A and B are shown apart, each in its own frame.
Chain A
Amino acid sequence: MSAIIIFTAIGLAQLMLTIAMGITCVRMLYGPRAQDRILGLDTLYVNAMLLLMTFGIGTGKTVYFEASLVIGLLSFVASTALAKFLMRGEVIE
């Protein structure tokens, strides 16, 4: 019974997160300016991280935790470097 409840909720949550990733991809592809695309990339990273955490709950393996932690780290580095590039025109001065 509890497995049915959890798997139903996990399935719905994965569906919602996948739709969110699709919407973010639309904004990232058609964003009017560069900052919209960078914000879309950051949101896409966060949604992918949440999707991997729901995969971890659904399968019961702790491997997905490390993957989502790495995705979170890369999201910060990528978005900060891209914002710095927009600000200055180069990443390392």
Chain B
Amino acid sequence: MIYLAADIPIWAAILIACFVLVGAGLALIGAIGFLRLPTFYERIHAPTLSTSLGTGGIVVASILFFSMAGDRLIAHQVLIGVFITVTTPVTFMLLARAALHRDRFENSPHVPPRESHIES
């Protein structure tokens, strides 16, 4: 089934355009920050822009579009938002701990030393 963009009212179209542009713009800002920040521990913050509010904006725009064009609530895109929100912190924490482990293993001077009473 194909939903047509001409079926929706103009205020919903403007709202959808705003959400899509905000989501894509935040994804672009996150990518630019990922390119420009100097160290890995700063760089790992930048892509969370695109995984939190970038995904959120495009998911909300998609829900609005399909709901307005189909004349009923179509909200299965919420699945993507929930899934990305749950899995991204797990991945990034694993990756940051792996990077910290590698830096400590090489005795890098830029990372704090291991504290035995915090982590074994």
Contacts and interface: CB of A to CB of B under 8 A. Distances in A.
Interface in B14-39: 14, 16-18, 20-21, 23-25, 27-28, 30-32, 34-35
B5 A3 contact: yes
A47 B95 contact: no
A8 B47 CA distance: 25
Interface string B56-84: 00110110011001000010110110011
B58 A50 contact: yes
B117 interface: no
Contact of A65 (B28, B61, B77): B77
Nearest to A26: B35
B98 interface: yes
A20 B17 contact: no
Interface of A is mostly: helix
B3 to A, nearest CB: 4
B98 A87 contact: yes
Contacts of A8: 17
Interface in A58-80: 59-62, 65, 68-69, 72-73, 75-76, 79-80
B34 A24 contact: yes
Interface of B: 1-6, 8-10, 12-14, 16-18, 20-21, 23-25, 27-28, 30-32, 34-35, 40, 43-44, 47, 50-51, 54-55, 58-59, 61-62, 65-66, 69, 74, 76-77, 79-80, 83-84, 87-88, 90-92, 94-95, 97-99, 101-102
25 contacts: A1-B13, A2-B6, A5-B13, A10-B20, A12-B24, A16-B24, A33-B102, A34-B102, A36-B43, A43-B47, A46-B51, A47-B50, A50-B50, A50-B54, A57-B16, A60-B4, A61-B2, A62-B74, A69-B79, A72-B87, A75-B87, A75-B91, A76-B87, A76-B91, A80-B94
